[in-house]
């Protein structure tokens, strides 16, 4: 059976399109490659951070993966209207490039 099969049930045609993804009131999204079905269709960045367990820590940024465009940083107070299969990823908030070493003078 594929994701768009129609079946007969009590004489009616019933679509089973993505039945495994359909959860009442829940939109499937991905955070760091893991699928989640959070409650609600609009969540703030702070609420999105609490979807995974453990939650996304404060030392990481949450980004919306946008195909063929620049990805978007999601701030904690920003409201995101969830769409089916949206993809988010996290990265370290501060990347420590290492210590700068001054060139040695030959004195």
Q: Which domains does the chain have, with CATH numbers?
A: 23-92 (2.40.240.130)
CA dihedral 61, 72, 55, 45 (to 10 degrees): 110
Task: Supply the pLDDT for residue 23.
Answer: 61
Contacts of 55 (CB under 8 A, 6+ apart): 49
C-alpha pair distances (Å), 74 with each of 18, 22, 36, 58, 71: 28, 25, 17, 13, 10
φ and ψ of 83, to 5 deg? -125, 150
Contacts of 65 (CB under 8 A, 6+ apart): 71, 86, 87, 88, 89
Query: pLDDT class for 101, splitting at 50, 70, 90?
Result: confident
**CB of 38 closer than 8 Å to CB of 82:** yes
Q: What is the pLDDT of residues 52-71, one digit of tens each?
A: 999 999 999 999 999 999 99
Percentage with pLDDT > 90 across the chain: 61
């Amino acid at each position: 059976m594929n994701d768009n099969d129609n079946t007969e049930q009590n004489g009616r045609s019933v679509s089973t399109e993505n039945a495994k993804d359909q959860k009442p009131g829940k939109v499937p999204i991905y955070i760091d490659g893991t699928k989640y079905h959070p409650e609600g269709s609009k969540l703030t960045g702070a609420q999105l951070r609490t979807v995974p367990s453990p939650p996304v820590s404060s030392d990481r940024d949450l980004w919306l993966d946008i195909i063929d465009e620049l990805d978007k940083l999601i701030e904690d107070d920003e409201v995101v209207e969830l769409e089916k299969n949206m993809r988010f990823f996290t990265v370290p908030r501060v990347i420590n490039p290492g210590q700068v070493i001054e060139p040695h003078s030959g004195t």
